[in-house]
Structure 1
Amino acid sequence: MSDTGVTRVRLSGIGDEAAPGLDRQIEAVRRLGWDSVELRSVDGVPLADLSDAAFDRVVGGLADAGLGVSCVDSRIGNWARTVVSPFADDLTELDRLAERCDRLGTRCVRIMSYPNSGLPEADWEREVLSRIRRLAARAEDAGLVLVHENCAGWAATDPARMLRLLDAADSPALRLLFDVGNGIAYGYEAYDLLADIAPYVAHVHVKDGTGDTDAQFYSLPGDGNCRVADSLRLLFDRGYCGVVSIEPHINIRPHEGWSDPSGDYVDEFVAYGQRLEKLVSELGPAAGRA
């Protein structure tokens, strides 16, 4: 760490990696003493698809627990929606989430950049940039910030393409989400992206593990090959002071329809968060706990 001052970050976690139900998601982050949860699904239903009554219960439950929301994870441009999927689905989801983010008190929405589905490279690029430009403009009007994750899509693994997205959008409503562990499944070293994109990173996911594109074996942060400490150190040295959110992937991956049937995941989620706290403390910055 540089000696210019103490970097302050907030720790959070994607709640449905602890449990499907909101009560257990809340319990997991409260046991860690954290002040926010990252929302992707509740009871197996993506946030945008919850009924109004179910969403009202989410808002009320979080308020009663005194928890904020660090980010909501949309399906916009993700691995299940290719560049030829109906763009109207993404616009509808963004409009729905804009209303819900306002009630949740968050501005941050995770997106990706559309896997290809048979288009020539030039057409794929053209369509992705057009969609991202329109999404960013809509998000800016709604007071949201879209954070593009290095996961699936045209700009998933290439820092030059990530910067091209930002240039094309030309909007403060588009920034980057850096996931430390995504390189395992997609066949690249995530840390190698950071030197180019660090100034534009507005949200961080932490997972760790070993493996390759055929099989991944996830672990506690620091026990795998994803250079978690090196990545966080570089980000902190570049002045990052946003949210660092855990996505363990060890016992449950709701978006993939996979879970270990052996039992309760809240304890494992808490242990994962405690390991991240220790790692962050060793690097120097203080984890924010409002």
Structure 2
Amino acid sequence: MNTRRTFLSAVAAGSLVPLHQAVGQATPAAVAGPRSSHPIALSTYSLWRFRNDELRDFHKCIDIADEMGFDGVELLLYQLEQNEMLSHSKLMSYKRHALRLGLPLVGLSTHQGWATPDRQLRKENTDRTIGQIEVAYKLGIPTMRVNTGRWGTSGSFDALMKNRGIESPLPGYTDEDAFPWVIEALEACIPTAEKCGVVLALENHWGLGLTPEGILRIVDAVDSPWLQITTDTGNFLEEPYERLEKIADKTVFVQAKTYFGGGQWYSLDLDYPRIGQILQKHNYRGYISLEFEGMEDYRTAIPKSLELMRTAFPRVPA
């Protein structure tokens, strides 16, 4: 059969059909369609958790994510910074490793501390954050989790968690003093974020990010498409669904916590199908990154968590 003549005849007749039909091949049995669920990533925090030194290595974490069937990996930068030099060659080895497995690096989770009256300390945190944006760019990571920082008056993180994330300001100051500091710092980071194509995503964490109103006040004041929100499902300890709804519209990345075996600091009995419906209502289409924070062995808890995420976050066509 002259397949070129068949194809041209179809074009001339205005009845162009898929080429496999024009040349007499069988129609494929399966038709492509949307993914059945949101892409689910594994946060390396789920493995290391500040206590498992043998799981500090990103290469090992990337391998585990691949073996367990995740669609991407979110890197916790603090996990690397504690005992390794951030050399260019080391960073590129993670990028190469992920490429070889076909497993994208989709998020970089970082820490900042701008809730301080010390201007020099705020500048140091801003400079470090700009450097972190450049790390994300080198790794090809499109979004970076940032925090407001906290006052530090709790002493320890354990004490902060015992007080449900609520912390008193430094003597002589209020939260109202800190909002302009955080806004100014993030505004200084925006030009680098835009240049590098890395969306900063302010998390509903502790400090000024304890409430949806606090998060939105900062994001709305900066008013840039390069500053949006990382929604953490486990960081609103009271009225979680109402609060998650308030920040869903500006969410570009989701961290979903599970607590199999009981949480290290607390456990939440989260209705994930309900959370999935909230995100769907606001047309969220992006990644769900698992942050396992329970005491069960990760080898059994993380696969169960992945199954839960696949079920709770179906990918509904827009």
TM-score (norm 2): 0.69
Pick from 265, 268, 284 the counterpart of residue 216 of structure 1. 265
* CA positional deviation for 1:74: 0.8
> Who is 1:92 aligned against?
127
Q: Contact 1:140 / 1:171 at 8 angstroms: preserved in 2?
A: no
Letter in structure 2 aligned against 1:205? Q
Letter in structure 2 aligned against 1:144? V
Pick from 4, 8, 13 the counterpart of residue 42 of structure 2. 13
Secondary structure at 1:88 match in 2: helix
Q: Contact 2:40 / 2:287 at 8 angstroms: preserved in 1?
A: yes
Tell me which structure has the larger Cα radius of gyration.
Answer: 2
Secondary structure at 1:205 match in 2: strand
The percentage of aligned residue pairs carrying the same residue is 20
> Who is 2:277 aligned against?
233
Instruction: Write the distance in 2 (CA, Å) between the matches of 1:172 and 1:48.
Output: 33
Letter in structure 2 aligned against 1:87? R
Q: Per residue, is there more strand in 1 or in 2?
A: 1
Shift in CA distance, 230/167, structure 1 to aligned 2, threshold 3 Å:
same
> Who is 1:221 aligned against?
none
Instruction: Write the distance in 2 (CA, Å) between the matches of 1:111 and 1:57.
Output: 24
> 1:1-290 counterparts in 2 under 5 A?
9-18=38-47, 19-41=55-77, 44-45=80-81, 50-77=86-113, 82-84=115-117, 86-116=121-151, 117-118=169-170, 119-154=173-208, 156-184=209-237, 188-209=238-259, 216-218=265-267, 224-251=268-295, 265-280=298-313, 284-285=314-315
User: How far does the alpha carbon of each residue in 1:137-172 deviate from its partner, in whole angstroms, 9 at most, with x for none?
Assistant: 432233221101111221x23222222112211111
Letter in structure 2 aligned against 1:17? S
Which structure carries more relative contact order (alpha carbon 8 Å, separation 6+)? Answer: 1
Instruction: Write the distance in 2 (CA, Å) between the matches of 1:35 and 1:53.
Output: 25
Letter in structure 2 aligned against 1:59? K
**Mean alpha-carbon deviation: is it higher for 50-59 or for 240-249?**
50-59
Q: Contact 2:258 / 2:294 at 8 angstroms: preserved in 1?
A: no
Q: Give the unaligned 5+ runs of structure 2.
A: 1-33, 48-54, 152-168
> Who is 1:254 aligned against?
none
Secondary structure at 1:206 match in 2: strand
The count of aligned residue pairs is 254
Secondary structure at 1:113 match in 2: coil
**Mean alpha-carbon deviation: is it higher for 101-110 or for 35-44?**
35-44
Instruction: Write the distance in 2 (CA, Å) between the matches of 1:84 and 1:13.
Output: 36
Instruction: Write the distance in 2 (CA, Å) between the matches of 1:266 and 1:56.
Output: 28
Secondary structure at 1:70 match in 2: strand
